[in-house]
Every structure is written in structure tokens, then in C-alpha cells.
Structure 1
Amino acid sequence: MVVSLLKKMGAIFSLNDPKWGRGSGNENDGNKPNTPSNGPPDLEDLWRDFNQKLNTMFGGKGAGSGGGRSPDSNGAKMGAGLIVIILLLLWLISGSFVVQEGQTGVVMTFGKFSHETTSGFNWRLPYPIQSHEIVNVSQVRTAEVGYQSNAKNKQPKEALMLTDDENIIDIQFAVQYKLKSAPDWIFNNREQESTVKQVAETAIREVVGRNKMDFVLYGSREKVAFDVSQLIQEILDRYKSGVQVTNVTVQGVQPPEQVQAAFDDAVKAGQDRERQKNEGQAYANDVIPKARGAAARLQEESQAYQARVVANAEGNASRFKQVLTEYQKAPAVTRDRMYYETMQQIFTSTTKMMIDTKNGNNMIYLPLDKLIGQTLSPDAAAPKSVGIPPAQEVTNANDLLRARDNHSRDREGR
């Protein structure tokens, strides 16, 4: 119907119509002024022909030379109905919209939430009955606190915060978030991005206020960021903002510029302290094992000395018991024997020699070099006496005593 109407209108208002501007053909040619057939049309004739064609389209008939005719009411109503239908179709078509991938459409009926739409082609009732708003739920949004666009472009009102030990620090961080509920994002809060930023600033101030300055400056930034992220999400969930926090990044933490030099000195002193502690620990790790080794060696040497002394004492005691037994059998012989042994030990340790000069004046040849060598090496003679049994030693001593007595008697007889 619409196509036929457009064709009809095109045929009526065709610019190729030779009657445009030259009347309807029912007029008396004698009443028209004499104009050339190929001249330009008159404006009055154009306007009159236009009105006649409109009347014809809506059911009326062109006016003749004798006066106008009454329009056809049914045709007029039909034309008006067609226009209304066209306008209605255009109005209905205005309710269609397209939602891109990663976006969500929120449809509202008289301003109240109605439903959500998925990506693709969608339709709603036209305005003013329904309206829609498209929200990008896949976009990662960022809220910056303490700076704008660049960490060097600081905002002191946002960046300066008070710690638990009443110190001031300068902190900059960024919060990245996405939307998990488009209706909550649209309807539950006004100025949503500003709300997220204020919540982030509130959360970081609370976390910083619960901790010491040293922990915030030199501690784990990941721990601070995690605590801030949890607190931001908790507050936004209470607000029903439809926001999901994905990441919190601490851009920078430092003391205020006015006291930066003092803090640098404190940091340097702390580093020196740690270095000295490490050096002391390294020295201790080097000295303590050596001391423990020396102590263990001394203990082993003392135990060896103890064992040697005890063994010598036990040997001396055993030898004394043997001597005691022999002494009880022959006290005089034992005394002489002990005397000889003692003198032998004494003379083997000295370079002097004793010679009997009373018995004769004969020249005695003494191999002094050999004697001195023997006296300087007493160990060579020691094993000979060690291997002699006690009984044999006593017999030898008795023989020596007899020989000495006989020699004395011979001298007295002379």
C-alpha cells in the first residue's frame, strides 16, 4: 500500500507533466494571456496546479472555470490514514537498536528498569514508553588516587595520608575494575566513577592508618594492595554498585618532600646496620667453627694425656710392687740395685766421666768421642735394661757385689 501510494504521488507531481504551470486544461483559452507555448511557467499557475493535484490525491477534483467543487471526504480520510500508518511505522522502527559484543543493553519502561538485553539486534517499545542505555561491561576501567595520568603529576590532597604512628606518607595507587551488573551500575549510584574513586581513597586511608610507617614504606606492597582491594570490594558491595575490582597497583610510596632528606639518612643508617650485622654474622660463622675445632682438639689431647699419665702411673705402680716384693726378699741387694739404676740414669744424662786413679798409674785411653756420643744418646742403652727380667737383674747385682767384695779383700791383703 505504501509503495502504491508513493507511485501515485510521483505520477501526480511528475516534473515531466506539460501542464505544470499551465492550468488544468479546463480553462478557457480566451481568458489566458497570450504567452509563448515554450515560455517559463507562471508561479501562480504552479501554485494552482499544486493545489489541484493535492485535491485529486485526497479524493477531490480540480476546479473548473465555473468555480470549485466539494472534496471527497472518504478519499481525504484514506490519505490521512496512510500518513498516520507511515508515521506509526517510523515510530515503531525507532525502537530498534544494536548491542555490540562485550556490551549489555538496559531497557527502561517510563524510566524504571525493565530487563537486560544481550549483544546483537534488539527492539523495545519506542520513546516515550521505553528507552534503553548501552553499558560496556567488558571494559577495564581505572580509578587513579594521588595522581592524574602520570605518577609524577601528584595530587597532594589525595596522596598525603596519616599512618598509625602519626607520620605522613605520600602514596599513589590505581584501582582497575569492571562492571558485573549493568542495572546496579546505572540505577543504584549517581556519578559512579566518582563514587569508585572516593571509595578507593577511603579504603587506602584506612589501611594506611592501621599500619606503621615503616611497614607501608619498606614492607610488602603486595600486602597493602591486597588489603586495599578487599576493603574496596566490601564497600562497593554494600553500595550495590555493580563493580568488580580486578587489581590494585601501588605506584609509589615515599615520605613528603620536605622530610625526604631525613628519611634518606634514616634508610642509609638502617642499611649500614644491616651490613654490619651481616659482617658480624659472617665473622662469627668463620671464628666459631675454628674455636669449636680447637676446643675439640684440646679435649682429645687432654684425654690422650690423661690416658698416658694414667698408664704411666699404673706401670710405675706395677713396677714398684715388683720391686717391693724383691726388696722384701733381699733389702740390701735391692737398695744397691736401685742405687745403681739411679746413678746410671744420672750419668747417662751428663757429659762428665769418673775414673779410678788410685789403683794404678797406667795411661788409660778413653775414646771420648764415642763416650760423649753414647752419653748424648741415652735411648740406645735404655731398651737393654728394659728387656732384663727382675730376677736376672738381682743376680747380676749380687755377682757385682761379690766381685767388689773380693776385690776389696785382695787390696787389704796386699
Structure 2
Amino acid sequence: MSWKNQSGGPWGSGPRGPWGSGPSSSGPTPPDIEDLIRRSQDRLRTMLPGSLGGKGIILILALVMGGWLLSGFYRVQPDEQGVVLRFGKYVYTTQPGLNYHWPYPVETVLTPKVTTINTISVGMRLGEDARRGTSVMRDVPEESLMLTGDENIVDVDFSVFWRIANAEQYLFNVQNPEGTIKAVAESAMREVIGRTNIQPILTGARQGIETGVQDLMQRTLDSYKAGVQITQVQMQKVDPPSQVIDAFRDVQAARADAERAQNEAQTYANRVLPEARGEASRIDNAAQAYRERTVVEARGQAARFLKVFDEYQKAKDVTRERMYLETMERVLGGVDKVMIDPGATSGQGQGVIPVLPLADTFRRPPAQGTQPQGATR
């Protein structure tokens, strides 16, 4: 007997189970999946353009066109410039802010960063240390070894700092801007180093070399219309080649010693020469004064002689006697005198006339044990 008998089975009629008053089928029935699918298909057919007619097609096209036009809005950041291309050709440049261009594929926009300072290193590379697992700077000899003006070799590592000055020229005039800048930097540095001797390069000519390389790079890139501005060239390391660096250091030490000795000699000369010049000037002034004094005295004596000669012409005997007396007074005035009378021979004095030494009376008495000055022998 089938359990699905609509009459209720052997337990009588009605919707009962085999246990009489068992569970009834009057509760909610599960949804029909096929019915749900059919209803969804009906609703989808009502939304198709065929059911809406021409107005539906126009509405959908308007929505699509509006979305396409709205996609033309774009924002340029403060450190960028917007370069608008129309079918791949440059049209114009926009400034930072919200801007609009014809949507793709009519126009597209490129936004390079024009205020960022970029760095390119020549002669050195940043590599990984396998042992320590850290980044290290390694030398690149094929870029850093350069020939100087006096035919020496020097190892130069330097960095170039640059930024975009003209976004249009930077994007379209040079195919590989960074590679071009690096090649121009290496070429300019080799040219400036080739005009300079090695000694100034290793000592005090770095600033002049950096300025010369920067100017030469800027002129070259401007001739290419690369749209790049070189802000700084900085020399990181300037050394002789590693094979001869010890010999160069010895030469540098010898030159430093020679320069120190020259400075000491110059210091000594700066001290001695002024003293010698002052002494020479003093001697010259003294000679001039002596000459002036001698000339004046000679002129005075000549004038006095002329005066005496005039008087002599007037009275020769009187003048002769006066000159004799003045001369004897001048000669005998400072010596001790002894008077001898040839007629007075009697006595022990044998004609010596005692003279009262009035000059010795006013002199200071000599110390004990010393002979008085002017003692008569």
C-alpha cells in the first residue's frame, strides 16, 4: 500500500499520518524554484530596450555619454604639471588643481613632478653587501677614472642634482632623459678635468670645477632642449687611482712641508724686512742730518772767516795778535800749566814759578789711593 494515498491510507481519510492525529500538512509550503526563475525572466524582459522603445535607448545613451564626459576631470598635484595630449600630440600644459580635458581616447594627460630634486651619481653605484646584508657604495672605475690636464689620472666620484624645468620638452624632446643627463654629466666633468692640473684638483679647486661642470651641463642640455635644470654638481670623492694613492700621499705630504717652510720663511722675511728698512731709513736720516749740520757749520765758518778776513784787511797787526791770543786761549785753556822763568836759576826750583792751582781747588777731592788729576810731574 502506498504512503502517498490521498485518502489518508489505512487509518482513514484526511491529511493524517499513519499515527492518526500525526503531523498535518496545513503548514507553509517551500517556494517553487522554477516559479522564481520564471518570474525573474519576465521582469528582465520588461527592462530590455525593446520594451522601452526609443526613449529608453536615448536615456541609456545619455547616461553613457555623461559618464564618458565626466571621466575627463583630473587633478594635478602641487608638485606636478599636467601635459595634455590630443591623439598623442601635445596640446597645452595645465597648472596644479582640478582641470578638465576631453576624455579618452580623444585626450590624455601626463603629470610629471616638476619640483622634485632628482639625483644622478657618476662613478659610484649603490649595491648590496652579501655578507652584512646592507647597502654599500661601490666604485665604478670605467666612469670615475679621468685624465687631467698634466697627463695624470684621477678618480672622481660626483653627484648631479636636477629637476624638470619644462615638462613638454622633458617628455618629448629627449627619449631617455636620465640617461642623457648622466652622459652629459660624465662628458662635462671629463672636459673640465682635462683642462685642470692634478694638484688643484686634489686641493682647492673643487668649487671651481663644480661650477664649471654645472655651467657646461646646463648649456649642453639647453642646446638639446631637454627641459632640465641642473641645480647643483657635488664632487663626492677626488683621489688618485688606488694603485698609486700611497705615492701621491707622500708627494702631498712633501708639498705640504715645502709650503709650510715657505710660509715660515715668508713670515721671517715679513718680520726682518721692515726692521731692516726702518734701520736703513734711520741711518739715511742720520746721514742727512749730519750732512745738513756739516754744511751749515762749514758755511758758518766760511762766513766767520770772511768776517775775520775783512777785519784783517783793515788792521792786520791787531787782528793777527788777537787771533793768536784767542788760539792760545782755546788750546791752553783746558790743560795744566807750569811757568818757567829762565832768569830765575837760583834755588832748588831752577826757574820754576809756583802757580796756585785754583782749578784744582774747586775740583772734588780724589778718593784715597788714587792720584789726583792734573798732578804736576
Secondary structure of 1:135's counterpart equals coil
Which residue is 1:52 aligned to? Answer: 42
Gaps of 5+ in 2: 1-24, 127-134, 364-371
* Aligned residue in 2 for 1:104: 81
1:115 and 1:297, CA in 2 relative to 1: closer, same or farther beyond 3 A?
closer
Deviation, structure 1 residue 361: 0.7
Structure 1 portions without partners, runs of 5+: 1-34, 60-72, 378-414
Q: Does 1:114 align with 2:91?
A: yes
Q: Report if the CA contact (8 A) 1:100-1:119 is conserved.
A: yes
Contact 2:45 2:51 in 1 (8 A): no
Equivalent residue for 2:275?
Answer: 290
Note the aligned Cα RMSD (angstroms).
4.2
Q: Any residues of structure 2 matched to 1:131-146 within 5 Å, and which?
A: 131-146=108-123
Q: Distance in 2 between matches of 1:298 and 1:56?
A: 129
Once the two structures are TM-superposed, the CA of residue 247 in structure 1 deviates from its matched residue by: 2.6
Specify the SS of the correspondent of 1:131.
strand
One-letter code of the match for 1:129?
V
2:229 maps to which of 211, 236, 244: 244
SS of residue paired to 1:258: coil
Mapped partners of 1:315, 1:308: distance in 2: 12
Number of matched pairs = 328
Partners of 2:338 and 2:292 in 1: how far apart?
Answer: 38
Q: Would the alpha carbon gap of residues 121 and 39 (structure 1) be closer, same or farther in structure 2, given more than 3 Å must change?
A: farther
Q: Which of 181, 201, 216 is the matching residue for 1:231?
A: 216
Q: Identity of aligned pairs, percent?
A: 35
Cα 1:231–1:37 change in 2 (3 A) is farther
Structure in which a larger fraction of residues adopt helix: 1
Structure 1 stretch displaced more, 158-167 or 87-96: 87-96
Q: Report the AA paired with residue 345 of structure 2.
A: N
Deviation at 1:154, TM superposition (A): 3.8
Alignment partner, residue 210 of structure 1: 195
Cα displacement (A) at 1:138: 2.2
Residue identity in the other structure for 2:147: L
Query: Which of 116-125 and 85-94 deviates more?
Result: 85-94
Residue 173, structure 1, aligned to residue 158, structure 2: yes
TM-score normalised according to structure 2 size: 0.69
CA distance 1:157–1:40, change in 2 (3 Å):
farther
Cα offset, 1:354, TM superposition: 6.7
Provide the TM-score with structure 1 as the length reference: 0.64
Contact kept? 1:151, 1:251, Cα under 8 Å? no
1:176-235 CA-partner distances (Å, limit 9, x unpaired) = 222222121111222222222222222111121122222333344332222212211111
Deviations along 1:228-278, whole A, 9 cap, x unmatched? 122111111222211122233333433233333333333333333333333
AA in 2 matched with 1:137: V
Structure-2 change in CA distance of 1:353 and 1:166 (3 Å): same
* SS of equivalent to 2:81: strand
Please state whether the residue corresponding to 1:136 is helix, strand or coil: coil
**Whole-Å separation in 1 of the counterparts to 2:223 and 2:294:** 88
Is 1:359 the equivalent of 2:345?
yes
Q: Distance in 1 between matches of 2:36 and 2:143?
A: 73
